[in-house]
Every structure is written in C-alpha cells, then in structure tokens.
Amino acid sequence: MQVYLNLSNYNSIFLQKNSGAPALTTSLSLNNVVSCSLQGLQSLPSYKATTTTIFVCKLSIVCLKCLSWAHFLSHIFQPGGIYATSMLKITMCVIVFPFSLRGCTDIICCVLFIVVILGYMAVGILAWLYGDPRHVLYPRNSTGMFCGIGPNKAQPSVFYFDILKCVTSINIMAATLNGLHALVIAMVVSFLFLLLLRFIAPVMVWVLIFGVLAVGAYGIYHCWWEYDNYKKSAVSITDIGFTTDFKVYLQVKETWLAFLIILSVVECILLLTLIFLRTRILIAIALIQESSKAVSHMMSTLFYPLITFVLLVVCVAYWGITALYLATSGIPVYKVVALNSTQDNCGQISGNETCDPQVNYSWCRSARCIFIKYNNEGLLQRNLFNLQIYNVVAFLWCVNFVIAMGQCSLAGAFASYYWALNKPSDIPTFPLSQAFIRTIRYHVGSLAFGALILTLIQIIRIILEYLDHKTRAAQNPCSRFLMCCLKCCFWCLEKFIKFLNRNAYIMIAIYGKNFCVSAKNAFMLLMRNIVRVVVLDKVTDLLLFFGKMLVVGGVGVLAFFFFSGRIRLPGSNFRTEMLNYYWMPIIVVVVGAYLIAYGFFSVYSMCVDTLFLCFLEDLERHDGTMQKPYYMSKKLMKILNKKNRGPKNGKGKD
C-alpha cells in the first residue's frame, strides 16, 4: 500500500493516504531509528516540487531504539502521534510498505458464516435430491397419480374456462413497453432530483421550515379568532359534560383557548429551536449539498442498488425453492389393492404390498396402485422441521449480510471522496469497485457479525409473533399487554441495531477495524454530537421523503391520466375501452416507481451518513494546521468559522 509523505518544511514529515480513511497527519520520527535502509531510491522527473525533486523509496525499518515495531506502527498510523524528526531535504516521497494497513477482521465470525453457507448449500442439495414440488404444483387423483402431466396430461382435474378463446386482441408488447416507459420516467426524475439537491436543498429546507412556522402562526390566529367569537357565549365546557359529538366541543371558548395555548407553546419551541440550531441546520444543508457533489462524481453508486436487489432476489428465490423442496421431500407410499377380490388372480392381493403407480397390473383387472401416505421415517423426513428452521435462519443472515455489504461498499466509496485532499483530482479511480473489493477481502467477518446480531433479534421477533398468533384466543388482558410490550421493545431494539450497524459499517469502511471497535467508536462519536445527529437525520429524512413523494406521486398521476385514456400519445395502443380495470397497471407503475426511488435515495442517504461521520472525525482529529488540515468543504469551514492555515490554505474544496 502506498502512503504519501509530504514535507512542507525541513522539520516534519506528514503522512497521507487515500483509501477511504482520513489522511494520516502523524509526524514520523527517524531520530530513534538506529538503522534505516532506503532501497530502490530513484527520482521521478515527471513530478517536480517547488524546490526539490520527489522520490519513491522502499523503507525498511531494521531496528528501533526505545520503540518496539508494534508500538512504532501503532503510532505512525494513528492520527495524533507526534515525534521529533531529523533534518531532511526532500519535498515528498512515497513509501511502499511490504504489508497492507488493513487486515482481515472478525475471522471467527467469517469462518462461521462460510460454514453456515456451506451447510445451507448442503441443505438445498438434499432438498433438491429428495423433494418433489409436483406435490404442490399439480393435483392428484384418487390413485395418487398427478393430474395434468404424464399419462394424465390431457386430464387435469380442475375445470376452467379457456380465456384464450374470448380474450380481445391487443398489443401486449406495447403494454409492457408503456409500463417500462413509466419506470424509466421514475428513474430519470429520481436522478435529476438528487443532482438538483446540490442547488435547491437550501431553498427546500427553509421553505419547509418557514412553511411549518407559517401554518402554526395561522393556527394561532384562527384559534384566537374562534376564541374571541365564543368568548361572550354563556355556554362553558362544564355545561356540556361528556359527549361523543366532537363538534359540540368546538362551540365553547375553553376548547379554542386550549388549542391556542398548545399551538403557541409548540410555535415558541419551534422558533427557539430554529434560533439555537440554525448553525446545525446550515451544516446539515451543506452536507446534503456535498453529498450531491459526491454522487455526481461517482455516478456508478446510483446503480449499486441493482446489485443488492439481484442478490436479494437470489436469496429469496433460494429460500423459497429450498422450503418448497423440503416440504415435498416425503417419499409417497403406494400399495396395490384389488377393487374386486373375486376376480381371477386378485384374491392373492393382501393390500400390504408396495407398488409403482406407473406399472399396469394386467394379471388382475381390478388391481389398483393406491396412494397411502408419505414416508416420514427417513433421516431427512424426521428432521424436516429443524431443516426448515435452518433455512429461515440462514436466509435472514444472508439477506442482512447482502444489505450490510452494500452499505459498507458505498460507505468506502463516499469516504474516499471526503478524504481526498484535492477534489476531484485525488479521488481514487473506480472508488466503488475498490471499496467493494476491500469489503470482500478484509471485512466479510465484520459484516457477518453485524448481520448475525440483527438476525438473532429478527428471529426473536418472529417467535414472539408466532406465540402471539397461537395463543391470542387464550390470552387475558395482562398477558396481551405483556406480549405487546415485548414486541414493541424488540421492534425498537431492531431499529437501534440497524442504526448502530449502519454506522459501524461506515467506520469499518474508513478505518478497517473489527465490528465491535467500529460500533463503539461510531456510537461514541455520535453521542458526542447528538444534537447534530438529530438535526441532520430529520432534515435528511424530510428532504428524502418529499423526494420520494415527488417521484411516486408524479409518476402515479401521469400513469392515471395515461391508463384512464385522459391523455393519448401518438401511436398509443391503450384506450379506455381496452382496459376493464386500469387501476392494476397504475398500482404496478406506482410500486415500481417507489422501488426505483427508494434505491436511488437509499444511496443518497448512505452518502449523507458517511460524509457526516467523516465530517465529525475531521473536526475531532484535525485543527486546520499544516500538520492536520481540514478536509471539509470551504462552505462547511465558513459555517463553523474554521480555516486551514499555512501556504495551502485552500485544501477544503467547494
């Protein structure tokens, strides 16, 4: 791995690397080095500094005085450690270390996850070998033979109308293409909205904030006006008493006075919040704009949800097929019986002999091979329930792992954008691909660890739902209340674990540490900035909510007017009379538009969260000096009244 050393003067060496982590601005001490071997020293004429030449060197530390090798590395690659340095006269060099700064994390959990996946594959193979989904897909006749296939292909047991004989001729391909056009519109609108957030985010946020304040002010005025109208009325709320007609309460002054007081208190709280949190709101807006810039520099991140979607579809399909094959893995048992034992050669049939339904018993005309039951005495059949539980647990673990892998990969890509010293020139080539490779190479165990914790919580919730469903009729009010509390607590716990995992994956992508350390660091970092977290979270949720409503609502309205025949495009094959129920394609288009918008905005939300954690790390680790410059944009530095001091004062980019 390459670590860049930048010597702006002769008394210090500064380390910088860009692999999704902040620049290592630790000073490197060479005074304590007894023997230092510089191998492969060569100049690079293509790079020239202001005073001297840039060198590339391979540094091999042979012996250290007063510092062990581990102690030396723990400080040299930990921001904040400072050592005195000897007089050196080079401007910049690249140290190529023979090891990687990252290592495999949570190896035990990685091995466990691999074992579970291999076991999951073995369960699927066993289910495929012994299962027969025809038991579910096709009905059987009284003899146990399948209807609609094999010798009974022309004799399905279900009577139905042939709708193909009475269907109206229509261009089915045109219908499909028109539906796809609506989904393409949803994709384009989502994409444009994310790019426009770079410019319209401040306007939207302030319009929404002042809109809420204006609505509250009008509510106060209306309550005062109603109170003034009923102030002279002789009827009071004590005269009315209790009634189910709410309109009666609206005709007394006490009701409007209560509304007036409540709205006034809420309005004052909102105004005070706006006054005291205006700086944090500005920071949230600036981070949202910075996220839009990051997405515009890494357009491939917008299409990563397609990979996640495909992997989730694979997980769901594998789980469903495995469950189906396991459920039909019982071997059917057939026995031959004689419908008329008085016929020739039929008296010897006892009814206890097994048979094959495909065999014709010509020696006894009344002999029939009858289905009796499914064999449940085999090893696989005796453990079907346990295998189905294993199928569900492995499925949940795989789904959570796929989601975690997507979050960590996106976080690594966006972190490399933030920690680029000069944007966009210092952004790595193919940042998303590099982040994905780092995630798969080093952090499968950490992602599996976080996914396992979430899976255990989800399993407990499933068990609670199952118990509640089975015992609902026998529950008393006390037990129902207890069950409701348990379900609520574990629902909240699942939300918290998802929040913690999400931020832990971001820290893993940045620093490459294990899950527990990353989760602890992320949680403590957020707790030290809890007000900023709340403000940014709510502002981002508000913007993304309106973005989703804009995309889904706009596409839904267009689909309604189109499929209802109110607007007609040239060459359109849709007419009102051709669609007996046009709400179905509208619902399909709206659901598809929501899924597309959710995919786009989930990437944007991950970008905001990643840049926010990087921003908090930037504030805590750096002070704007040449040794520790800020990496935030100039707009953020201006809001916080901070700046980078030194010759390169403009390291923060707009």
Which CA distances in Å does 511 have to 96, 508, 586?
Answer: 19, 5, 46
Residue bearing tokens 């288009």: 589
Average pLDDT, the chain: 73
User: Which residues in 550-575 are b (16+ Cβ under 10 Å) and which e?
Assistant: ebbeebbebbbebbeeeeeeeeeebe
Q: How far apart are the first and last CA of the chain?
A: 29
468 inside domain: no
Boundary residue ending a domain (278, 294, 310): 294
State yes or no: pLDDT of 11 exceeds 70.
no
CA distance linking residue 270 with residue 441, whole number of Å: 48
| 333 backbone φψ class: left, alpha, beta (φ>0; ψ -120 to 50) | beta
* pLDDT > 70? residue 390: yes
What percentage of the chain exceeds 90 in pLDDT?
Answer: 21
Inside any domain, residue 650: no
Could you tell me the pLDDT band of residue 338, with boundaries at 50, 70 and 90?
Answer: confident
User: CA torsion sign, 84 to 87 to 93 to 97?
Assistant: negative
Residue where a domain stops, chosen among 96, 119, 143? 96
Residues 6+ apart with CB under 8 A from 512: 21, 101, 102, 103, 105, 438, 442, 443
| Other residues' Cβ atoms within 10 Å of the Cβ of residue 290 | 27
526 in a structural domain = no
Answer with the residue of higher pLDDT: 603 or 474. Answer: 603
pTM (2 decimals)?
Answer: 0.72
Residue 447 predicted with pLDDT over 80 = yes
In contact, 326 and 125? CB cutoff 8 Å: no
Does residue 49 carry a pLDDT above 70?
A: no
pLDDT at residue number 358 = 66
Whether 44 contacts 91, CB under 8 Å: no
Question: Tell me, what's the pLDDT at 120?
Answer: 94
Average pLDDT over residues 371-375: 71
**Average pLDDT of the segment spanning 52-76:** 34
Sheet strands side by side (includes 2-6): 14-16, 2-6, 92-96, 53-64, 33-48
- Residue 459: what pLDDT? 96
Q: Contact 8/89 with Cβ under 8 angstroms?
A: no
Per-residue pLDDT band for 81 (boundaries 50, 70, 90) equals: very low
* Residue 265 forms part of a structural domain: yes
Q: What is the pLDDT of residue 568?
A: 64
What is the pLDDT, as a whole number, of residue 84?
A: 29
Count other C-beta atoms under 10 Å from residue 385's C-beta: 9
Q: What is the pLDDT of residues 124-179, one digit of tens each?
A: 998 888 877 776 667 766 555 667 666 666 666 544 445 555 555 554 444 444 54
Domain boundary among 270, 294, 318: 294
Integer Cα distance of 334 and 356 in angstroms: 7
Quote the tokens at residue 539.
């502002």
CA 13 – CA 28 distance, rounded (Å): 6
- ∠ CA 78-84-87, nearest 5°, is 120
**What domain range is 214 assigned to?**
199-294
For residue 7, is it within any domain?
yes
Residue 77 falls within a domain, yes or no?
A: yes
Q: Number of folded domains in the chain?
A: 2
The sign of the CA dihedral 413, 419, 421, 423 is positive
| Sign of the torsion formed by the C-alpha atoms of 218, 220, 222 and 225 | negative
> Count of CB atoms within 10 A of residue 437's CB?
13
Distances (CA, A) of 296 to 301, 414, 516, 621: 9, 11, 33, 27
- The pLDDT-based confidence of 280 (bands split at 50, 70, 90) is confident
pLDDT at 55 (0 to 100): 31
**Mean pLDDT throughout 494-508?**
94
Nearest-CA neighbor of 141 among 449, 371, 383?
371
Which amino acid would we find at residue 147? Answer: C
Residues whose CB is less than 8 angstroms from the CB of residue 63 and which lie 6 or more positions away in sequence, other chains included: 33, 34, 35
**Domain annotation covers residue 433:** no
Give the pLDDT score at 587. 82
- Domain membership of residue 211 (yes or no) is yes
Segment 268-295 shows an average pLDDT of 84
Regarding predicted confidence, which is higher, 396 or 5? 396
- Better pLDDT: 303 or 235: 303
Range scoring the smallest mean pLDDT among 303-312, 361-370, 424-433: 361-370
